């Protein structure tokens, strides 16, 4: 669970409510980014800090300590943390099977290369003025429309069918779904609940499986 820019691990732990995932036998981890911001796009931002490496090392340390045996990994986050969640799926050796991006910032997503299919749920508010649903450009930083990002992810997954904002017929029997929240702002959504949606989506991809 990855916080947004200038967020904290304790803060997002409190308002996301994702400790509930531990009831399914999952280990829920809330890391903290260096200087409060994740390097979600090394091709754009530069290779330092290496947050993919940091998160891989964290996972390895937890496994060595006997906290968990990593069979499947799931990544979710808010805003910049959501961007880091998809970056982890793009670039990490971890067995990421599904991601959930909430009010996601998709800077640099065009250089993603998936080594295996990864399911993706995106939730985004129609009234988000920080990362608008239709995309935005800040100087040299181009943030694509969220629908375009989702369609691109579906292409990476080899999806062959689309119904509205839901892509299916994908490699590995995954799917890609975009939920647009009417009137939603740049936030972790309460209605519909992002927490409930993330948990339900991850459960579909083996969160509770032995």
Residue 44 lies in a domain: yes
The pLDDT mean for the chain works out to 93
Residue 4 lies in a domain: no
Residue 210 lies in a domain: no
Q: Which residues, other chains included, contact 115 with Cβ-Cβ below 8 Å and sequence gap of 6+?
A: none
Residue 3 lies in a domain: no
**Rounded distance between C-alpha atoms, residue 13 and residue 8, angstroms:** 8
Residue 121 to residues 6, 7, 57, 139, Cα–Cα distance (Å): 24, 22, 26, 28
Cα 16 to its chain centre, rounded Å, is 14
Place of tokens 């250089």: 111
User: What CATH number is associated with residue 120?
Assistant: 3.40.50.1820
Q: What pLDDT is stored for residue 41 in this prediction?
A: 86
Note whether 13 and 26 are within 8 A (CB): no
Q: What pLDDT is stored for residue 140 in this prediction?
A: 76
Note whether 29 and 58 are within 8 A (CB): yes
Neighbours of 210 (CB within 10 A): 5
**Rounded distance between C-alpha atoms, residue 209 and residue 160, angstroms:** 27
pTM for this model (two decimals): 0.95
Pull the structure tokens for residue 68. 């968990």
Cα Rg of the chain (Å, integer): 16
Residue 96 lies in a domain: yes
Predicted confidence pLDDT, tens digits, the chain (210 residues): 999 999 999 999 999 999 988 887 889 999 999 889 999 988 878 888 999 999 999 999 999 999 888 999 999 999 999 999 999 999 999 999 999 999 999 987 667 889 999 999 999 999 999 999 999 988 778 889 999 999 999 999 999 999 999 999 999 999 999 999 999 999 999 999 999 999 999 999 998 776
Pull the structure tokens for residue 35. 């200087």
Owning domain of residue 94: 9-204
Residue 174 lies in a domain: yes
Residue 170 lies in a domain: yes
Half-sphere exposure of 157 toward its Cβ, with a 13 Å CA cutoff?
31
Q: What pLDDT is stored for residue 109 in this prediction?
A: 60
Neighbours of 82 (CB within 10 A): 28
**Rounded distance between C-alpha atoms, residue 210 and residue 194, angstroms:** 25
Number of independent structural domains in the chain: 1
């Amino acid at each position: 669970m990855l916080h947004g820019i200038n967020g904290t691990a304790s803060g997002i732990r409190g308002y996301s409510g994702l400790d509930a995932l531990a009831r399914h036998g999952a280990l829920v981890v809330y890391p903290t980014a260096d200087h409060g911001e994740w390097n979600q796009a090394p091709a754009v931002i530069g290779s330092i800090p290496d947050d993919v490496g940091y998160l891989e090392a964290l996972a390895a340390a937890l496994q060595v300590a006997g906290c968990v045996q990593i069979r499947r990994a799931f990544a979710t986050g808010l805003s910049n943390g959501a961007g880091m969640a998809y970056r982890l799926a793009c670039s990490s050796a971890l067995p990421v099977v599904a991601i959930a991006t909430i009010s996601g910032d998709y800077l640099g997503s065009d250089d993603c290369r998936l080594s295996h299919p990864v399911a993706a749920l995106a939730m985004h508010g129609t009234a988000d003025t920080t990362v608008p649903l239709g995309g935005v450009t800040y100087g040299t930083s181009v943030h694509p429309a969220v629908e375009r990002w989702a369609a691109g992810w579906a292409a990476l997954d080899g999806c062959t069918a689309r119904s509205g904002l839901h892509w299916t017929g994908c490699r590995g029997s995954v799917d890609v779904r975009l939920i647009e929240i009417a009137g939603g702002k740049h936030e972790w959504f309460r209605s519909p609940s992002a927490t409930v949606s993330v948990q339900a989506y991850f459960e579909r991809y083996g969160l509770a499986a032995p």
